[in-house]
Amino acid sequence: MIQKNKISSTTPPERNRRGGLVQEVVQHLASQIQAGRLNPGDQLPTESAIMKELAVSRTVVREAISRLQASALVETRHGIGTFVLQAPTTDNFSIGDQDMSTVEDVINVLELRISLETEAAGLAAQRAKPENLDAMGKALQSFAAAIDGKSDAVPSDFEFHLVVAKATGNQHFADLMTYLGKRIIPRTRVNTADQAPEGREAYLRRVHSEHESIYNAIRNQDAESARAAMRTHLSNSRDRLRKPREDKT
């Protein structure tokens, strides 16, 4: 008997561009299939259900399903619904929660981010529009407010990095950051803030200060300074994770 499975409740971050939203829905549904929550032969939730779960329009849902059809992951039977054909092949690039389970895993992803986001910051300095700078400023304000509110500031931290990626004007940077999601923030995987020698609040304020340096360089259209500020920020995160491990050797 055909089952109608529900999409998990994890909702991707909101996006401003339809193309980005379409890719988020594609990635979300593909992850449900890959994880076995939707199996070959299962019927996808209705368009209305997906729209409600992910807060997207019908057009976005239809474009996402079209992409899944083009990848031969699903097929639509007119008058019946859309059904899963197969799981995405495992030889495609992916970074799942299982790949972020240890400190070493987090360090590895930070090394990837250093190469990716350093260049993104430089491109953002050259291409950022006023609305991008406004969005960065709002993310910084949210981060500061989260510190004052004794929060971990993870949402605003990720939002800042996502906005920098968007400011490149190259959708691939933003799509990859969206795919990686909030789990790329180290303190979602390890207790970097709680274990910081200077204390949680001082640690978060230092991260905030590093973000401000990146923002100022981008606002000043100084590509090299933006690259250097981003590289320093992410390298500091990596080195903070490395130090306790090195002290034990």
Distances (CA, A) of 168 to 124, 127, 180: 4, 6, 17
Using an 8 Å Cβ cutoff, are 42 and 83 in contact?
yes
Q: Are residues 73 and 109 in the same domain?
A: no
Helix axis angle, 130-148 relative to 200-219, nearest 10°?
A: 170
What's the confidence (pLDDT) of residue 2? Answer: 43
User: What percent of the chain stands above pLDDT 70?
Assistant: 82
> Would you place residue 18 in the very low, low, confident or very high pLDDT band (cuts 50, 70, 90)?
low
Domain count, the chain: 2
The CATH number linked to 186 is 1.20.120.530
Q: Are residues 222 and 116 in the same domain?
A: yes
Whether pLDDT at 19 is above 70: no
Q: Are residues 116 and 80 in the same domain?
A: no
pLDDT in tens, 104-133: 888 999 999 999 999 999 999 999 999 999
Residue 196 pairs in a beta bridge with none
What's the confidence (pLDDT) of residue 136? Answer: 97
Q: Are residues 182 and 157 in the same domain?
A: yes
Whether 207 maps to a domain, the answer reads yes
What's the confidence (pLDDT) of residue 44? Answer: 94
Average pLDDT over residues 164-175: 94
Place of tokens 């090195």: 246
What's the confidence (pLDDT) of residue 97? Answer: 67
Q: Which of 57, 84, 111 is the last residue of a domain?
A: 84
User: What's the rounded Cα separation, in Å, for the pair 99 and 87?
Assistant: 19
Whether 41 maps to a domain, the answer reads yes
Average pLDDT over residues 92-100: 68
pLDDT in tens, 206-244: 999 999 999 999 999 999 999 999 999 999 999 988 875
Mean pLDDT of the chain: 84
Whether pLDDT at 96 is above 60: yes
Place of tokens 């430089």: 122
Q: What is the span of the domain harbouring residue 220?
A: 97-247
What's the confidence (pLDDT) of residue 91? Answer: 54
Q: Are residues 105 and 148 in the same domain?
A: yes
Structure-model confidence comparison of residues 115 and 18, the more confident one: 115
Whether 13 maps to a domain, the answer reads no
- Evaluated on CA atoms 5, 9, 15, 20, the torsion sign reads negative
The CATH number linked to 22 is 1.10.10.10
Average pLDDT over residues 63-86: 88
CA gyration radius for the chain? 20
Average pLDDT over residues 26-38: 84
Nearest to 168, CA basis, from 216, 218, 202: 218
Whether pLDDT at 52 is above 50: yes
What's the confidence (pLDDT) of residue 14? Answer: 42
Whether 235 maps to a domain, the answer reads yes
